[in-house]
Structure 1
Amino acid sequence: MPELPEVETIRRGLRRTIVGKKIARVEVRLSKMIAFGPDTVSNIRKTSQARALEFVEILKGQRIIDIRRRAKVLMICLSRGYTLLVHLKMTGQLIFAKAGERKSIKAFNTEQSPRFTLPGKHTHVIVGFAGGSMLYFNDLRQFGYLRLVANHDMDRVKELSAFGPEPFAKDFNFDYFTGQMRRRPNLSIKQFITIPAVVAGVGNIYSDEILYCAKVRPERKAGSLKPAEKKELFKCVPRILKEGVVYHGSSVGDYFKVDGSEGTYGKRHRVYGRKGLPCRKCGTMITSVKLGGRTSSYCPKCQR
């Protein structure tokens, strides 16, 4: 699943390519991929063809005025009182093509992956802009969504209000962070930093990298950390996430940037996805542990 650095990279890519553009046409190929209103969107959902047509009619003629992000949710701000929320979930992609461009992308981030030309069989929504450029929403597993919300209802979107502070914001401070740890002393530190209500946008990839940065093992209880370890962990959260943004995210699985190219942070991973490989710092073999249904990789020597 794309995490904060991947979604922020996509936000920046969309801001460069579609802000100011006018929507000329919309094609909904799979109606369950779109939704309306502030209520929580279920992974098991049905949207009628009539509602899909309504979705198309609302979007046509609107101009893109801004692209924002809250945690892992993109917010495409429109000119006529609506915001289009985009959640990529597990395998969602947003790929931009210039006018007349035949965009071809890999199915997965492997050397052997086949390429396909857009729109492909996993392209579920196509947005065409005046001038001929296109935005493709692809999703292999079909958990993601595009969701139209009237601006006056945005305060009622529960997913957005349930997120904790952004890791780069002033309200993500040491007192807040340690206070959250005191409330959950028996939770593993890996599980703790992946709770969306604690800090927005951290998932399996970046939690592993954050814990390596802080030299803390993932299975440690939150309440077991010493004051110096808490301080280092707090510093590592924004540090690692900013590093991920600088390198345009981790292209593991099927994440791609808006232009269809790969992010390069995956090549810099210290522990995530490196089980059985030597630690880049000390040479000890990276190992893993399962916590709360997630596999967490770590260095048994560098992390305590």
Structure 2
Amino acid sequence: MGPTASGKTDLAIKLSEQLPCDLISVDSALVYRGLDIGSAKPDGQTLAKHPHALIDICDPAEVYSAADFRRDALAEIETSLANGRTPVLVGGTMMYFKALLEGLAEMPAADPEIRQEIECLAQEQGWAAVHAELARVDPDMAAQIHPNHSQRLSRALEVFRISGVTMSEWRQRQTAAKLPFRPLQFAIAPQNRDELHRRIALRLDMMFDAGFVAEVEQLKARGDLHLDLPSMRAVGYRQVWQYLAGEFDLAEARERALIASRQLAKRQLTWLRSWPEIHWLGTPLGTVSQQDGTISRNLAQIQALLVTSSSE
């Protein structure tokens, strides 16, 4: 686990070169076909050499939920273990990790009409107004959701409007998941926030240089995609889509994408700081030789804990 641009994928690939591992992606953008550049999806050559399960499994017009992920991830884990291998889950979608470890409460199915009502409220009064309404009916959930996190806000308020029962109460009814294994949980993150911001900016520039705008143009030209879909709400995609729609220029799109990426990293770190049973790893910084040294130490720490765990 770790924030965006922290080096999770590179470390997982290095691990798979030393141990009989099966890599399983935990990323809400990588599940979608065609979201390649802006999602920092490993390229075809890398995936051919180091396959990742749960990448490119959905069309962008589809909705892929945390419940879908839990079902698919458990199936992939079971297959890996049955083959005598070690499943390694790698990604930054913390809600997916939480769903896997804790299970999910049964909640009402989405209602397009109610969701549209909430979208209209947001368009007319802003997402702060949606957050305020959620705080009135479900203060516990509102306290957990940032006012800018539109998708989670919309879903939490939608659940209450559909059922008259708050999402907090639905979750209290949740039955704890019983997993047939004990996961080892690792996190990687730069200790210096400025370093993380530098990495995020560098990767974003590389995305734009690699043809990110053209990628979103192709998605937009399909005609069946829109900004209400989870795929198009992914960080960077929304901002470039809005640029293509003429809402602002490319420089502003890049700046907004940068801000959204930093906000995502902040949310991911907030999750991780309160995450139980987590082992923190160092993040490779500086020169290539320094990076290799940090990666080697991380791999040694992971392998030592794997050995200890298997002997218990």
- TMscore range, shorter length: under 0.3
Q: TM-score, normalised by structure 1?
A: 0.28
